[in-house]
Amino acid sequence: MAKEEKKSENKNSSNNEFKSMEEFLRELSKEKLISFMGDLAKRYPKVARELKDFKNLSQGKMKKIVQEARKEMKSLTRESAWVNCWTGEGNMPDYSGLRKRFEYLLEGKHYDDLIELGEEMFNETQEQIETSNDEGELEEQISSCMKVIVRALPLSSLSIVEQIEWLSKLIDKDGFQVMENAVGDYIRHDFSLEQWRELADVLKNRLEEIRKTEDIYLKHERNIIWKWLIIALRNARRDDEVIPLCIRKVEDEGDYLTLIRQFIAEDRLDEAEEWVFRGVEKEYKESMDEKKRKPGYWNSGYRDVLIAIFNKRNDLKRVAGVYADQFFSHASFTNYKILEQHAKEASSWEQVREFCQKYLETGKLPFVPGEKGKYPSEWPLPATGLEEYFHGCISPPAYQELIQTAIYEKRIEDLIRWYDKWTEKTQLSEWYLSLYDNTAEALKSTHPEKAVKIWKNFSEYEISLTKESHYKTAITFLTKIKQLLSENKKEYEWTTYNRYLMEENKRKRLFIKMLKEL
């Protein structure tokens, strides 16, 4: 509550400040205002660009904005995008100005120009994203620009069928989900009932033409048509056609998930659940290798729809049960935390956690794989039906997951035990950089000597790789060592270790330079 009040106060303060500034500007003479804006434009290129675009917009010179937008787009898409998460160094193209120009074009009703620019930008940025090395910021910026483009699509000269073809073409090439949010905005546009009916008829006829095709390209087109056909039928108020079409899709293509999702959309949950297990059983049996006695496997999408069904029923224990199956099938730290969240909602985490830890240590499951619902009495969750089709396995002990969960749960003695056992069997590797660092961070308060030792080992390993990027990583860890020793009044130990590093690596001039700066 206090945080909301603080936000409200800040917002009010900001609004008052803006009003005060607005009043001040109104009082300036025309000459002073022109002089002030001219000075700003000289000092700040972004202000100059905004003024230039605003001038073109005001004078109706939209083609100039189109030309400037295309020029800026070509420049931005040639830039590299990368960030070093350890040093903070990097380069990130700034698409905010281009987005603003797109908004000017939208305001000026140059919809067709925007569609053309959008396709060019999409094609050129796909390669840029593929070669980037950042935390997803580039994709977010490009996605933000594409949202403006797609807002122009329903207002363009293209028919609704042509619009869908344009969107489908881009979605088909989209390897980075930059179109995902934009497509959602498009679907929510206020198309007329007649437009949706026209689209549904066109798509339905095309689907019939390629229904049984074996051509790989036509199969791909068929998949895209299916997605849009269901949307079109729902919006055209022809809901009664959806389920029969989806049942035919199961018969033709073996696609159970589309049908199940539509049953869920219509709140036909019992039928949805029945078809989940039909699909799982079919895929499981078809993929079994009886000669090698290997169990079958099935699409994890069935878990997602089963969770959706149980959530709609507000059956929290069965939801947690499906997440338990996910953890035992794919025993990762991420799945452990997801299971924790849902088992807590079902008031079952303490008991479930014991079985999870036992599984990571020994590989022992809480149920009998291949047999439905056989759990010990201590297991707190109901059977989900997926036990019969279990196909996961681990090589116990799962050291990395045991270490990660011990860090997460602040079980220091368990952390030390599993870390020591793991490092006895594993060579140093950059693959485990975060795990070494997280372990040391978790130990620095209670076992500072152990933390220092971990950072020393990995720093020396990085230095031995004799590349600038590795030196920078080593310096990051050495900084932590120096700080921790200082906090524990052991500056002399850092001085001694620093001398050792200087002597041991005296031929590595770049590293020595970086160490001296530290």
Spell out the per-residue pLDDT of the chain, length 518, in tens: 455 555 555 555 556 676 777 787 788 788 877 787 777 767 877 777 777 777 776 777 788 889 999 999 999 999 999 987 767 788 999 999 999 999 999 999 999 999 999 999 999 999 999 999 888 899 999 999 999 999 999 999 999 889 988 988 898 888 888 888 888 888 888 899 999 999 999 999 989 988 888 888 888 888 888 989 999 999 999 999 999 999 999 999 999 999 999 999 999 999 999 999 999 999 988 887 655 555 667 788 999 999 999 999 999 999 999 999 999 999 999 999 999 999 999 999 999 999 999 999 999 998 887 677 678 889 999 999 888 888 777 889 999 999 999 999 999 999 999 999 999 998 888 888 999 999 999 999 999 999 999 999 999 999 999 899 999 999 999 999 999 999 999 999 999 999 999 999 989 999 899 999 88
CB 236 within 8 A of CB 193: yes
Rounded CA separation 338/392 (Å): 17
Say which residue the tokens 């000017």 belong to.
104
Three-state SS across 229-250?
HHHHHHHCCCHHHHHHHHHHHH
Cβ partners under 8 Å of residue 210, min gap 6 = 218, 221, 222, 225
CB 288 within 8 A of CB 319: no
Say which residue the tokens 């070494």 belong to.
436
Say which residue the tokens 């799962």 belong to.
398
The first and second tokens of residue 294, run together, are 């290997």
Say which residue the tokens 């996910």 belong to.
326
- In a 13 Å sphere around the CA of 263, the CA atoms on its Cβ side amount to 21
Residue from 329, 251, 265 nearest 295 by CA? 329
Dihedral sign, CA of 383, 386, 390, 393?
A: negative
Say which residue the tokens 């590093």 belong to.
501
Cβ partners under 8 Å of residue 499, min gap 6 = none
Residue-wise pLDDT for 444-502, tens only, equals 999 999 999 999 999 999 999 989 999 999 999 999 999 999 999 999 999 999 999 99
Rounded CA separation 253/251 (Å): 6
